[in-house]
Amino acid sequence: QWYQRRVPITAGIESEIDVTRDIISKERILRNRNNILQSVGRTFTNILSISIVKSRADTSKPAQTTTSSHTEDKSKQLPPKSYSRYDQERFRGEKETEEFKIDTLGGFASMKKSSGATPSRTPQHTKTPPRQPASRVPVPVKPNKAQKRESKTPIIIVPASLSSLINLYNVRDFLQDNRYVTAQDKQAQGYRKQSEVTISRKRDLVEINMLRGHAAPANGENQVVTIPYRIIDCPQRLDHKDWERVVAVFVAGPAWQFKGWPGLTADGSPVNIFTKMKAFHLKFEEVALEKNIMKWDVAVLTVSKNKRHLDSVSALKFWEHLDKFILKNKRHLRF
C-alpha cells in the first residue's frame, strides 16, 4: 500500500509568517510630511516662537514701510511681460555680443578719432553735390477736343453813317423783306439801333444743289432751308478768321469809310479789298452816281423814292450777285 503523508496546514502558514517578518525587518521606511509630523518625540515649538517674533516686528513698522513692502512684493509677484515685436530692447543682453561689450544701440557718431579702438569698417561720408534744379521742359498742350466749331455764317458790312441809304436801321427790311424803308422812318417808329443784326434768308434746297453742282434730292420734293447772315457796321471788332467770312460790303462813296481796314493800297484806296469781298452801292435812281463809285469795282443797286413795288427787284439783284461771288471765291461758307 501506498502511504501518503499529509502535512498540516498550520505548518505552511507559519513558514510564510517567518519569511514576512524577515522582509519587514529589512525594510526602510520613507519619510514624508505626514510621517515626519506624526513622528514620536519631536516638537516644533522653536519654529512657532520664531514666527511669533517676526509678526510682532512687522506690526511695529510704520504704515508707509508696510505699503512699500506690499508694493515690492506685488511687483515681484507680477508675471513676466509677454513677447512684443516693438519692445525688443529689453531682450538684449550680454549674450548678443558675448564678452566684447558692444553697444548695439550706438552709432559711429559718438566715436572719437583719438580713441584707440576703431571699427574695422568706418563709413566714409562723401559730400554729395547739391542738386541742380531740373529744367522744366514745356509740355505741349493737347488741343481740347471740345473746341468751338468754326462758324460758316457769312458777314455783310454796312456803313455806320445815317446819311447812307442803308445801315443797321433798315438793312433787315431791304435784304430780308425786300422792302426799302429809310433810316429816318425807322427812327420815327421808335426802332433802336443794335450793335449787329442777323437776317434769315429762305432758299430752295434744289436751287442750292444746282448752284453747287450737287444732285437733286432723291424724293424730288422741294425743301426750304433758312440761311443766316450776320450784318455789322463796326469792322474793327473782327478778327482774322472773321475777315475770311466777310462776303459783301455796302459802299457809301467816300474813301475814309475804309480807314483802318486790312488790304488798303499805299494811297488808301480800297481796290484790293473789293477782290476779297463783293462791293455794293445803293442809291436813289433820281440821284447821280458818285465819282469814286464809278472808278471802283462796285455793283450799283437803285431804288425809287416813291415806287416801293420795285424794291424787290433791287433786293433780288443783290442776292444774285452775292451768290455768284460766294460760289466762286468762298464756297466753304453757307449761302
Alpha-carbon span 49 to 327, nearest angstrom: 136
Q: What are the grid coordinates assigned to 322, written together? A: 452775292
Whole-model pTM?
Answer: 0.55
pLDDT band at 50; cut points 50, 70, 90: confident
Closest CA relative to residue 191, chosen from 208, 212, 170, 210: 170
Alpha-carbon span 20 to 16, nearest angstrom: 6
Cβ atoms within 10 Å of 324's Cβ, excluding its own? 13
Alpha-carbon span 194 to 197, nearest angstrom: 7
8 A C-beta contact, residue 118 and residue 299: no
Residue 150's pLDDT is: 84
Alpha-carbon span 51 to 49, nearest angstrom: 6
Task: Write out pLDDT tens, residues 131-142.
Answer: 666 556 666 666
Higher pLDDT: 76 or 298? It is: 298
Q: What are the grid coordinates assigned to 308, written together? A: 416801293
8 A C-beta contact, residue 330 and residue 312: no
Whether the predicted pLDDT of 199 surpasses 60: yes
Q: What are the grid coordinates assigned to 174, written together? A: 431791304
pLDDT band at 154; cut points 50, 70, 90: very high
Whether the predicted pLDDT of 187 surpasses 60: yes
Closest CA relative to residue 250, chosen from 235, 263, 239: 235
Q: What are the grid coordinates assigned to 244, written together? A: 475770311
* Mean pLDDT along residues 262-281: 92
Alpha-carbon span 182 to 160, nearest angstrom: 14
Residue 281's pLDDT is: 96
- The one-character DSSP state at 150 is P
Instruction: Determine the 3-state secondary structure of 99 from DSSP.
Output: coil
Residue 1's pLDDT is: 45
Residue 214's pLDDT is: 66
8 A C-beta contact, residue 182 and residue 311: no
Sign of the dihedral defined by the CA atoms of residues 256, 260, 262, 264, in that order: positive
Q: Is 154 exposed, middle or buried (0-12, 13-18, 19+ CB in 10 A)?
A: buried
* Mean pLDDT along residues 42-64: 69
Alpha-carbon span 138 to 258, nearest angstrom: 42
Task: Write out pLDDT tens, residues 230-263.
Answer: 999 999 989 999 999 999 999 998 999 999 899 8
Q: What percent of the chain has pLDDT over 90?
A: 39
| Half-sphere exposure for 235 (CA within 13 Å, toward CB) | 22
